[in-house]
Every structure is written in C-alpha cells, then in structure tokens.
Amino acid sequence: MNYTYTETQRERAILIGIITDEVTEAEVHENLDELERLADTAGAVVAGRITQNRPYAEPSTYIGKGKLEELSRLKDFQNAELVIFDEELLPRQIKNLENILKCKVLDRTGLILDIFASNAKTAESKTQVEMAQLEYLLPRLTRMWTHLSKQKGGIGTKGPGETQIETDRRLIRIRIANLKEKLAKIQTQKFTQRKSRNELDLVTLVGYTNAGKSTLMNMLTNANVLVEDRLFATLDSTTRLTYLDNNKKILLTDTVGFIRKLPHHLVASFRSTLDEVRNADVLLHLVDLSHPNFREHIHAVEETLLELEIDSKPILIVFNKVDQVQDSDLLHQVRLEFPNSVLVSAYRGMNIPELKSQVLAILENGYTELSAELPQDASKALAYIHSVSEVVSTKYSETTVTLKFRVNKRHEASIKEMIESYHREALYKSFQ
C-alpha cells in the first residue's frame, strides 16, 4: 500500500486502543483500523494490537500495570520499536511509558503530525506543519530519543525534530513567532491573488481524508493534483477554473482532508489554508460511501467545520465511490436519509451532470436581482457590475443607463455602495 518504504526500513509498531463506556470494543477496532492506515502511511508496519477495557485513564501511564506488562511482552516478542496509542497522551505519560517500555511511544496526534510533516511540500504547508509540531512538542521535550533520531530518523522524529529538540523552550517559542511572521507574509500574498479573482463564485471541496476530493477536482478541472490511496495526500489547497454549464464559470478548490480527532494544533495552524473553505459560496462535502464508517466520517467533518466556525454555508453532501457500493439497500437508504445529496463516482465520472446542476441551483439561490440607474460615463461602476454579475437588460436614456442584473448576494453591499457614491457625487456636482 505504501510505496516509499521497503519492509526492512519500516518500523514495527504495536497499537493500543481503549474501550470505555462510550466506545465499544467493535468501535475501538474500527478506530484501530484507521490508526493502522495512519501508521502505514507514516511508514510503519503494524505488528500487533492491544485493547484495554478502562473507564478512565491511569494518570501516570494511561493503561494499567498488568496491561503494560502484556504490552511490553508483545513488543519484545514482535521486535517492535514503536508503540502508538489511539488517544492523546499527556507529556508525562509518554515519558513514563518510554522509560518502562524502552522504545518510542507516540499518540494519535504525534502520528498525524508526522504524516503531515512528510507530505508537506510547499512553503506554506511546511510552515504550518512545523508550527503545529513545535506547539505539540513544547510541553513534551524529553531528549530521550534524540540520539536515535540522529542515527536513523523514523516516525515522530521528522520535521523540526533533530536540532530543535535539543534547544530549550525559549528558542522554540522564538521559532514559533518567526514561523507565524513567515506565514502572515505568505497569507498576504495569497490574499492579493484571491482578491483579483473575487468576481467568480467559489466552490470548495471538503471531506474526510481519502474521500476522493482530489479525484473529483481532477475530473472537473484537469488540475492534475496528486491522487493516492493513502491518508492526507493533499495538504495545500489548489484552485482552478471550471464550467458548471456553457456559461457558468466558477472556481473550484481542493483542500486538505479532515479526520476524526484532528489535532487542535493542526487545525489552528492550517487556518490560512482553510481560508478557501471560509470564503466559499458553496461547500461540497465529499463522503466515501464505500467506507463502512462513512457516517462517523460525516460527523467528524461537521465537527471540524464547527471548530473552524464554518457552519452557516450552503453545503451539498456528495456521496462518492458509488461504483464500489454493491449494496442497493444502502443506496436506497442513503437517498432517503440524505434527500438533498448527490451520489457520484469521481473516478468513473458517474452522475457528474447531476452534481453540476445541483451546485448551480445552490449558487442561484445565493443570487439576487438588482437594478441600477447610472450616468453613462460612470465607467468604473458599470465595468464592475458587468464583471461580477449577469446583466439581464440594459436601457439607455439621454444621459443615463439602467441595468437589471443578477448577482451573488456577497457583492450586493459593494455594488450598492458604489452606486450610492456615484449618486452622491452627482448631487454634489449639481450644487456647484
């Protein structure tokens, strides 16, 4: 599944999941399946998994003494050098566990951060990931594994790892401040680029990682973005022009995927990438319908959007990978349960016209019809109206022109302001 590592390079890992009153054993195994995919993406091979029934976490080691002994034996027996918890561990729990188990211990957040660090390619995503890693690292500075990371790298040691772990917290804080500045500069550039394409409607793809967002992006725009059957293939957003019908031009944006329990540091540092989500006129929430946990995926995406305070946008749920779904009952049930959704296969190009017409309908809903009477020489306002709207009719009188036009509501205020300023100016001139 993972092409970049040979078996001998792969670290052997043991996974731990906790069964509680809220999480059943079956659910823990589903969560561990996902953790296994994450571990695989990060370059580890899973040599075993252990679950523990525990209503609360042991303060010093998360799991109890007996379970810890079992874990230690399994780790030795399987020759594993890495233990990964599906929960977020406290810094002191990691330290204690590493001392007892004599191997590297990672939690879910540490693993996700590591994948992001390997997949970050652009200055923006690298900066964002490094910021998130340093924020995460700050309370966890242990030094114990620095000698290992220097020798051979490995999971949990990439990115800012090697040198900065040895520096003190003060230096890390300075580094975070520098990264913030760097990010602010990148964002200013992006803002300027974005302003110049402000007139087109923006449709943004969101969804759980591996749902097929980039596949749909490529299908609709020939963007040629990376598509892979692994988690978090996309970290940077890509925006391309496309047509919903012969006349309707829009911008489509592909974004980073979400996951259950997405680390807070990452969400915070990826805010600028996620601006594309914030500025969208419509969100297409892509769901992998062939995944047994697609409902949990929908929930996790909705939670993340809430966390990002993006909860008032029109959202169209797009069930993808229908070519992989043989169960006709499921298709029927989904249609009933989500009556406003669309079922597609991005990979096979199935039902794309239906998707386009639904997006068009939602965009149309966000439009309003306005009219304006302007002097014929009000060239700036006339040009602006033409650039952002669809002009329905134009009537000329001796000195004025009256336009009727349909425009996205988000332009309404700026158009009204522009028209009023012309009228104020005209009034002012008539008094002179």
Ligand X SMILES: Nc1nc2c(ncn2[C@@H]2O[C@H](COP(=O)(O)OP(=O)(O)OP(=O)(O)O)[C@@H](O)[C@H]2O)c(=O)[nH]1
Residues that bind ligand X (CB under 6 A): 207, 209-215, 227-229, 231-234, 257, 320-321, 323-324, 345-348
Instruction: List the one residue out of 237, 280, 243 whose CA is nearest residue 257.
Output: 237
Among 234, 255, 272, 341, binds Mg ion (CB under 5 A): 234
Q: What is the C-alpha to C-alpha distance for residues 416 and 365, in angstroms, rounded to an integer? A: 20
> Is 119 a binder of Mg ion (CB under 5 A)?
no
In the complex, the smallest distance separating the C-beta of residue 25 from ligand X, rounded to whole angstroms, is 28
**Range 414-420, long-range pairs (CB < 8 A, 24+ positions):** 415/370, 415/372, 415/381, 415/384, 415/385, 415/388, 415/389, 416/370, 418/380, 418/381, 418/384, 419/372, 419/374, 419/381
Nearest distance from C-beta of residue 358 to ligand X, angstroms: 17
Of residues 134 and 216, the one with the C-beta less far from ligand X: 216
CA nearest 318: which of 347, 346, 286?
A: 286
Site membership for Mg ion, residue 125 (CB under 5 A) = no
Residue 215 interacting with Mg ion (CB under 5 A): no
* Residue 346, contacted partner among Mg ion, ligand X, none, CB below 5-8 A by kind: ligand X
How many other C-beta atoms can be found within 10 angstroms of the C-beta atom of residue 222?
A: 9
Indicate which of ligand X, Mg ion, none lies near residue 181 (CB less than 5 to 8 Å, by partner kind).
none
- In terms of phi and psi (left: phi > 0; alpha: psi -120 to 50; beta: otherwise), the region of 206 is beta
DSSP, res 88: P
Cβ proximity to ligand X: between 98 and 323 the closer is: 323
Judged by beta carbon distances under 5 to 8 A according to partner kind, the member of Mg ion, ligand X, none in contact with residue 338 is none
| Cβ distance to ligand X smaller for residue 134 or 305 | 305
Cβ-based nearer residue to Mg ion, 234 or 253:
234
- The correct pick among 214, 218, 273, 389 for binding Mg ion (CB under 5 A) is 214
Q: Which residue number has the CB closest to ligand X?
A: 257
Rounded CA separation 229/253 (Å)? 20
Q: Which does 345 bind (CB under 5 to 8 A by kind): Mg ion, ligand X, none?
A: ligand X
How does DSSP classify residue 339? T
Contacts (Cβ under 8 Å, ≥6 apart) of 424: none
The neighbouring-strand residues paired with 18 are: 52
| CB closer to ligand X, 358 vs 389 | 358
Site stretch for Mg ion (CB under 5 A), options 29-37, 206-214, 335-343, 423-431? 206-214
